[in-house]
Amino acid sequence: MARIRTVFSIAFVYLAALAYSVVWAESGQNDPDISLKDASMFYAYVADRVHREYVDPISNTKLLEGSLNGMLSSLDPHSAYLSPEKFKEVRSQTEGKFAGIGLEITVEDGYIKVISAMEDAPGQKAGLSTGDLIIMIDKKPVFGISNIDASKKLRGKPGSVVHLVVRRGEQPPFEVAIKRDIINIKPIKWHIEDKIGYVRIVNFTQNTGFELNRAITEIMKSAAPEKPLGFVIDLRNNAGGLFDQAIEVADVFLDQVEIVSIRGREPKKIHKIMASKGDKISHLPLVVLINGGSASSSEIVAGALQDHKRAIIVGTKSFGKGSVQNVVPMTNGGAIKLTTALYY
């Protein structure tokens, strides 16, 4: 009896979806927005046809992941479905350690664009830089590739080699072979020179705020009994990272002012994030360095310091990513990365 009910349920969904597809086709799609219930039935119909009739056998898992990839990547360049394997890689990266060639990338006009090459990583050592377009990986064209697949192809076992064809501006494309390695990301590098503290923020991982505070403390000690003349904060080629770490970093230099405002789906609901009391470097002069590889969290920090005239910004135009993504873990071990707000 249970089997009969199951067969009947499948048949009902199939027939309902078939009926809906006919109605949708006949309507000429005058109203392209459909209910979630109708969309689910239509998906079930298409997935069933593909599963049963596609020329090669294909699993339901692969169909589902492909659907999720398509759904999320169609929203904007930063929303994505993360498979369990990819989600594990993302967590490793935010923790400051992963295997690859050390490039921050996006997909632009169908090709892989380098946002920044991480310091001392294989990609930077091979000469890759902000703005380079990767047009082939291991002799295969990448046009139309997703962000997720691009990252997957660039990463691999330490010691393995990836062959790239790169286009830079109007120059002829060139080939480069890069050996993958473990990327150990130290978020902060610092030194003091001529009584000026220099702090390089490589990216915004889990410990960036903590490491910045420690670096400033050490610089203050090194300059004692006098104070440093000022600080230089270098955000060049820093493609961003964790949003909360950007807030921590900006808070170090600001005193009870707005760091950033977040606007979600409802424009009238604006969430303002304020700096706490106190300026860690006691209002000493501050210069921030940026370039085209400075994105996301870097832009939040530089923008906040510029808006409140707390720092002089030096460099070239930044990348221009003004959105916030939430990563939502799923029961299968994967996650969805969804743009949920814009920052101002």
From CA 324, how far away is CA 242, in angstroms rounded? 10
Joined together, the tokens standing for residue 265 give: 């789906």
Asked if residue 336 belongs to a domain, the reply is: no
Do 321 and 212 lie in one domain? The reply is yes
**pLDDT for the residue 8:** 42
Closest of 45, 43, 47 to residue 61, by C-alpha: 47
- At residue 14, the 3 state secondary structure works out as helix
| Domain identity same for 36 and 153 | no
* C-alpha to C-alpha distance for 238 and 231, rounded to whole angstroms: 18
Write the pLDDT tens digit of every residue in 268-302: 889 999 999 988 898 899 999 999 989 999 999 99
3-state SS assignment for residue 245: helix
Confidence of residue 27 (pLDDT cuts 50, 70, 90): very low
**Are 137 and 236 part of one and the same domain?**
no
- Flag whether 153 is in a domain: yes
Mean pLDDT of the chain: 88
Tokens 């903590």: give the residue.
210
Q: With cut-offs at 50, 70 and 90, classify the pLDDT of residue 85.
A: confident
pLDDT of 146 reads 84
Q: What angle do CA 186, 188, 189 make, to 5 degrees?
A: 100
| Mean pLDDT lowest among 72-76, 160-164, 219-223, 279-283 | 279-283
Q: Are residues 179 and 285 in the same domain?
A: no
Whole-angstrom CA distances from 268 to 3, 261, 263 are 52, 12, 8
Do 210 and 320 lie in a common domain?
yes
The reported pLDDT for the residue numbered 11 is 46
Give the pLDDT score at 125. Answer: 95
Q: Which pLDDT belongs to residue 243?
A: 94
Two tokens, residue 125: 């050592």
149, pLDDT greater than 90: no
Q: Is 340 inside a domain boundary? A: no
Do 281 and 172 share a structural domain?
Answer: no
And the tokens for 216?
């400033």
Structure tokens at 121: 């990583």
Domain boundary among 136, 168, 184: 184
State the total domains in the chain. Answer: 3
d(CA 265, CA 271): 12
State whether residue 335 is helix, strand or coil. Answer: strand
Q: Among all chains, which residue has been given the structure tokens 């939502």? A: 328
pLDDT of residue 190: 94
User: Is 220 in the same domain as 300?
Assistant: yes
Q: Are 50 and 121 members of one domain?
A: no
Residues 313 and 232 in one domain: yes
Domain assignment of residue 299, given as a range = 188-327
Alpha carbon distance 119, 237 (integer Å): 9
> What confidence tier does 96 reach under pLDDT thresholds 50, 70, 90?
low
Range in 23-32, 159-168, 190-199, 292-301 with the lowest mean pLDDT = 23-32
Domain match, 224 and 313 both: yes
Same-domain status, 143 and 198: no
Domain assignment present for residue 252? The answer is yes
Domain boundary among 151, 184, 217: 184
CA 53, CA 34: separation in Å to the nearest integer? 26
Quick check: is 73 in a domain?
no
Active site positions, annotated: 296, 307, 321
